[in-house]
Each structure stands twice: as structure tokens, then as C-alpha cells.
Chains A and B, each alone.
Chain A
Amino acid sequence: MAVFRVPRAFAGPITTNTALPVHEGELIVRGQAKFLQSTGDGTAMNRNLTVWAAPTVFVYGANEKLAVFGIIPYLDKRLSLNRAGGRRTRGDAGLGDLSVLARYTVGQWDRPQETLRLAPFVGVEAPTGKDDTQDSLGRLPQPLQLGSGSWDPIVGTILTWQKLAWEFDASGSYKLNTAANNFEAGDVARLDLSFQYRLSPFTVPGGVPAFLYAVLESNLIEQAKNRATGVNDPDSGGTSWFLAPGLQYVTRRWILETAVQLPVVQDLNGNALENDLIVTSGFRVIF
């Protein structure tokens, strides 16, 4: 079964990361609503997976180069499948694992109405979510649990090139999933790209007008196989590539945005469940 991970919520673009600055003492609060659906299972189980996620992200500027992020998701995972005795739905809802990250700007090249930034980041996903939920069939499979039960470090780097008319972001990251409850999710490597093009205003008038961007993002995800009790799960892991068109409305103090991640390539192992789509909508407010 596909392992659902809370998609990135600390991005500047919608599904990827940005290296744009967070000024010293600044607080940004970001809320998202994400919907994931996976159907079309060809096995006898005819699995349907739906996940609602509402991650809340707090971003704080420790100084003009160092930003720290705290991400706590609310999750509702439901898996329907055929079993002896009929069709059953299993799942849980509640808070997932807390992620904490730090991003530091190591390169900054500013020109009039243009900036190029390079910022690596490190972090860890902490086992704060519940990882031992049971139902009438016993303990939920680990991928359906709200929490992983393990400490999982993540490392990556972001490149951002922004001009008044457009922005380009590229982010590479690696998440090392460690073992807990005799289960170890496969490590995840990602390459995310984002291009935002200003639709409005066509020419920038005086002052600080709001911008409407058309967004196109690309998410290339490589996940290793899960291991349960030391044995690789042949129906897990693989390579996925999503394209995500979206819109983003940006003002001086807040942002509204939405995007749909559509699978272009899903080369998953065995009978791993493929994603139909992932819909993301959200807001950001700066204090």
C-alpha cells in the first residue's frame, strides 16, 4: 500500500520550497487543506484510499538568514477494501507527526527587482502522532497510522530566482525514514520545481499592488520499499512524477493559493496504490 506522507506545507510556492527571506522577528502562519485520492486498485481488495490533511505551518525568522519551521498536520486517513466478510473501512483521524526544520541562506545575490537565493535546510519529523491505533480487525497497518513512531531526519537545499514578472524555485530533499513498531517506511528523495508567472497586473503600477500568479509545479518523488519485520514489502515504493497547475494571489500581508497535483508517471512497485490526484488549497498570513 502506498505510504501517504504529509506533503510539504512550508513552501513559498504551493507544493515546493522557496528560499525567499523571512525577516528577523517575522512570523508567518500557513494553513492548507489537502485532499488525496487513490482508486483503481486492480487487485481483489479493490482498495480506495482517501486522505484529508490540514497542515498548519509556523515560520519564524530568527534572523534575516535563518528561518525555523514547525509543521503540525491534522490527518484523516480512510482505506476501504474488500475482506472476507465484506467491505471494510479502516483509518483514523487526528494530529500527525510534528516536523521541525531550519533553513539558512548561504547565497544571496540581489539586484534591482531581482533576487537569487540558495538555502539548505535540515530538520526532523518527530513521533508525536498516534502510532498504535486499533480497530476491530486489530492494529491498523503502519501506513494508516497518524504517526510513524520514528524520528525521521530530512535534509535538502533550495534555489530561488525571483523577478517582478516571475519566480522559479528548485528544491532537492532526502528524508531518511527510520524504524519503529517493526516497520520502516522507505526513504524518500524528491526533486521539486516551481514556476510562477505574474498574470496581473500586466505592468506594475506604483505602490504595492496585489499579484495574481499562474503556477506550474513539478514533483519527482522516488521512494524506497517499506520494510516490515525486516522484510521488504514488494507492494511499496517506486517513482512518481506529478505536474501541478495552480493559481496564487499575493498581497503585502496574505496569500491565497490552490493547485492540483496530477500524476504523469507512477512507476510503483507491485500492487502499490497509485494516486488519482492531490488537491491543495491554502493561505498564508504574515505578522
Chain B
Amino acid sequence: MTERQPRFLLLAAVVAPLLGVMPVAAEVSQMSVKVDGLACPFCVYGIEKKLRRVDSIRDVDVDLESGVARIALVEGKVPTLAEVRSAVKKAGFTPREVSVTVIGTPVIEKGSVMLNVRGSERTYFLFRQGKPSEGVPVRALRERLLAQVEQHALIAASGVLRERAGGLTGLSVNTVEELAAGDASSARQTPVGD
């Protein structure tokens, strides 16, 4: 994950309302973290409390039966993978997959397909589910994404966040949904496969 100065976003957040234009919320939705070791109600409170203390997390909803904590984000903010995992560890449990659905624009950076998260400075490296080969996603996914780069398409990518070499955060992609110029009604969802 690369960090870019958010000054222009801050300026936009201040100026845009004055112009009658609302800033676009960071398009990271449906974030959740799977927690191992969680097996009783009394243990849930610690996880909720630690996650809510992360600046960008507004609320947490834990499901005991599945062991999943669903995270509601503060508008315009996105927690890092490290922040989510650290909160779960400090609660005394073991974090597993952090899943997200992200809307953004795919771009090419240094030969790799990256996803610029709309409304945020976050960028995720996109790769094939379960096969994080260094910088090179599976051919089918890469070809599809390259086409979307050419079209400057807006896409929604769902998958699991993973740490990558060099401090990057990668999104191991399960599904890619192409949105036509932000119009979700004409969305075409494409599962990732060979």
C-alpha cells in the first residue's frame, strides 16, 4: 500500500461542500476480519473495544458462530491491514483473513496492476486468490484488468488483504465487478478463474 499526501483530499473536503459538491467517500466497504480463538460471548467485548479504538473504524459487529467481525468504517477513512490485525491481537485473539470490497480504478505501476481506492489515498496490489506470485497475477485476471486499465474503468474488487513484500498491501481477488462510470445498475460481475 502506498501512502500519498492527503492534502488535496483535505482541501476538497473543506471546499467541496461550499461548492455544493460532497466529497466522495472512501470506497472500501464490507470490511471484515476472521478471528480465531473466539468461543464465548464474554470474549467478544475486547475485540469490539480494540477495533473501535482504531481511528478509521466506526463500529464493529461480531458473529460468534462464524468467528467474523464485520467492520463499519468512518466515512473517508480506511484502516491499514496492520491496524486491524493489531487490534485483534491486543484483544488476545488471532486474526486471520481481512476481507474487503473495494471500488476504485485499476492502474499500472512499475509493471504491476494496482487499484487506486476511490476517495482515498489507499492503493492495493491486485493478484490472484491464494497465489501471490511476485508482481504477476494469473494471466486471465491480468488480461481482464489490463483491459479495464485501458478503459479507465471503475471496478469493485472483493477479496482478502495480504501483506506483500516492500510494505505493499495486496488484495487477493475473488471477484471483480466492472462498474460503468460509477453506475452500479449496469455492473457486470466477473468471477476470477482460469
Contact = CB atoms under 8 A, between A and B. Distances in A.
Whether chain B is bound by chain A comes out as yes
Interface of A: 20-24, 26, 61, 63-65, 105, 108, 110-115, 162-164, 167, 204-211, 250-253, 255, 284, 286
Mostly helix, strand, loop or mixed at chain A's interface?
loop
Interface in B68-93: 89-93
Contacts of B63: 206-208
B40 interface: yes
Given A21-B93, A115-B37, A204-B64, A255 B42 contact: yes
Contacts of B93: 21, 110, 115
Contacts of A108: 37, 94
B36 A112 contact: yes
28 contacts: A20-B40, A21-B46, A21-B92, A22-B92, A23-B90, A24-B92, A61-B92, A64-B92, A105-B92, A108-B37, A110-B37, A111-B36, A112-B34, A113-B67, A115-B36, A115-B37, A115-B93, A162-B39, A164-B40, A167-B40, A208-B63, A209-B41, A210-B41, A250-B40, A250-B41, A252-B41, A284-B42, A286-B45
Interface of B: 34, 36-50, 61-65, 67, 89-94
Given A204-B64, A209-B64, A252-B44, A164 B39 contact: yes
A111 B37 contact: yes
Nearest to B96: A112
A162 B37 CA distance: 8
B24 to A, nearest CB: 32
Given A23-B50, A207-B63, A114 B90 contact: no
Nearest to B62: A208
B19 to A, nearest CB: 42
A278 to B, nearest CB: 24
Nearest to B93: A110
Given A111-B36, A112-B36, A251 B41 contact: yes
Contacts of A204: 64-65
B110 to A, nearest CB: 37
A164 B64 contact: yes
Which 4 pairs, one residue from A and one from B, show the smallest C-beta to C-beta distance? A21-B92, A110-B37, A23-B46, A115-B37
A23 B92 contact: yes
Contact of A250 (B34, B38, B42, B47): B42
Contacts of B48: 252
Given A204-B64, A207-B64, A208-B64, A64 B89 contact: yes
Contacts of A64: 89-92
Given A23-B91, A24-B50, A24-B90, A208 B44 contact: yes
A261 B103 CA distance: 59
Nearest to B65: A204
Nearest to A65: B92
Contacts of B61: 207
Contacts of A252: 41-42, 44-45, 48
B49 to A, nearest CB: 7
B41 A162 contact: no
B37 A286 contact: no
Contacts of A110: 36-37, 93-94
Contacts of B64: 113, 164, 204, 207-209
Contacts of B91: 21, 23-24, 64
Contacts of A112: 34, 36, 67
A206 B90 contact: no
B65 A205 contact: yes
A167 B91 CA distance: 19
B90 A63 contact: yes
Nearest to B36: A110
A145 B101 CA distance: 65
Nearest to A255: B42
